[in-house]
Structure formats: structure tokens, C-alpha cells
Structure 1
Amino acid sequence: MAISRVQADSCGHDDRTNDSLNNDGAEITNTARDAINLRGWTLRDNDCNRYRFDNIRINDRAGFRIHTGTGHDTRTDLFQNSREYI
């Protein structure tokens, strides 16, 4: 498992719109040969902001993105539903 990319400052003007918030986030990649269930795992930054994974299964060699703003979770995109930049 690897954090393959972090976008801590969204491109363009930080206007706190949902689009701007969703440009912030991180990409997670499963580098293993087997699928992994992330239930109970936590992603945390240096400011102690946390995202706790629910029943999320990530296939081998697959990845997904965690967005700061709101949206509907899919297999490739998860949302923290925050109204503030993280």
C-alpha cells in the first residue's frame, strides 16, 4: 500500500467551492499482489486531520483518490465531506 500522490493545495484560486475542495486530496495505490480491505485503517496528516476507512476493498495494483470536499463515494473516488481545506 502506498500514498502515490498528495495534492495539498488545489490548483487555481482557493475559493472554498466544492470543486476547489475536491482538488485537494490524496491518491492511494495497492502495490501488493492481493486485494486489501482497508476497514479500520486511518489516513492522518501532520495537523491530526483523520480519514478513517470504512469497508473499502482495493484490488491488487489498483488505486483510488480521497477528496477533501463532498461527493458520492465510488470505487475510484472517496470524499471526506469537509467544508474546509485539509
Structure 2
Amino acid sequence: MLRTRTAAAAVTTAAFAGLLALPAPAQAAGSVHLYKIYYDSPGTDSRTNASLNGEYVIVRNTTTAAVNLRGWTLTDASNHKYTFGNFTLGKGKTVTIRTGKGTNTAANLYQQRAAYVWNNDRDTATLKRSNGTRVDTCSYNSTRVDSVTC
């Protein structure tokens, strides 16, 4: 009788352990990632607000759920940092982060800067979660075009 209970207990323990070892539910399909960088605004670099807002980064959410980007950061290689406020990026949506000044909307966020961020020849954009985990990077090294698709 003792052997039967021990064997039954072992089977029950193994079955329970198997339940604990099941994979976690899948993450939402897709990702939040850097989509495109417009690093050389059109025309002369005059530092006007229109020119500053002509350089921007597009972030895209290809997951199946909205993602709150509060505390996430976007930086360049020189560590110019933009920190997202309480902003939720809808599923399948993009948001454009412009360098200059403006009023934030669901489609456009503004860094409120008076100087350019993205170098016209080469740079690296890094997107990180609020806990500092790197989500994506995108680099370019060209003066022949004004943008890069990541």
C-alpha cells in the first residue's frame, strides 16, 4: 500500500510540475519598433521650427494590443534623449516624434527642441522601455538620402 501511495504521489507531483512548466501565454504578436528616421529635413538647416520638425522618427506598433509608452526613451548616439509621457500607441498605429516644438496629438509628439538631434550623415536611434531594456536600434551612414527605413 505504501508503494502505491508513493507511486501515486510521484505521478501527481510530476503531473503538477508539468503544469507549472507550461509555457507562459504568448506575447502579443509583432513589436513596437523604430520604423523610419527622417534625419535631414528638407531645404537649408535654418533652425526654424518648420525645419526642426522636418526631422523626425516614426515608431510603429505591430502588436495586436495598444502599448503605453510612458517612460520609454528615444535617444541618438550623442544621448539626446526624448522621454515619452503618458502616451498609448494603438495596435497597428504609428507615432511621429518630431524634433521641434508643437502640440502633442495621437499622431505627432514633439521634443520641444530648438536644435537638431539627428546628424545628417550618420547616427543611431535607440528605443528603450521605461525599465531601460533596449527594444530596437536603427543606424544610418549616408549623405545621399534624407531618411532610412529601419
* Greater C-alpha radius of gyration: 2
Q: Does 1:9 align with 2:37?
A: no
Letter in 1 for 2:52: L
Match of 2:75 in 1: 44
Q: Does 1:83 align with 2:83?
A: no
* In structure 1, C-alpha distance between the alignment counterparts of 2:75 and 2:62, rounded to whole Å: 20
Q: Deviation string for 1:40-60 (max 9, x for gaps)? A: 111111110100011000110
Match of 2:11 in 1: none
**SS state of the match for residue 40, structure 2?**
coil
Structure 1: which 5+ residue stretches go unaligned? Answer: none
Structure 2: which 5+ residue stretches go unaligned? Answer: 1-31, 118-150
| TM-score (normalised: structure 2) | 0.56
Match of 1:61 in 2: 92
Q: Which of 58, 64, 89 is the equivalent residue of 1:27? A: 58
**SS state of the match for residue 52, structure 2?**
helix
Aligned-pair distance for 1:35? 0.5
Aligned Cα root-mean-square deviation (Å): 0.6
Q: Deviation string for 1:30-85 (max 9, x for gaps)? A: 01111000011111111101000110001100011000000000000000010000
Aligned-pair distance for 1:21? 0.2
Ranges of 4+ aligned residues in structure 1 off by more than 2 Å: none
Percentage identity across aligned positions? 37
| TM-score (normalised: structure 1) | 0.97
* In structure 2, C-alpha distance between the alignment counterparts of 1:82 and 1:44, rounded to whole Å: 14
Match of 2:142 in 1: none
Give the total of aligned pairs.
86
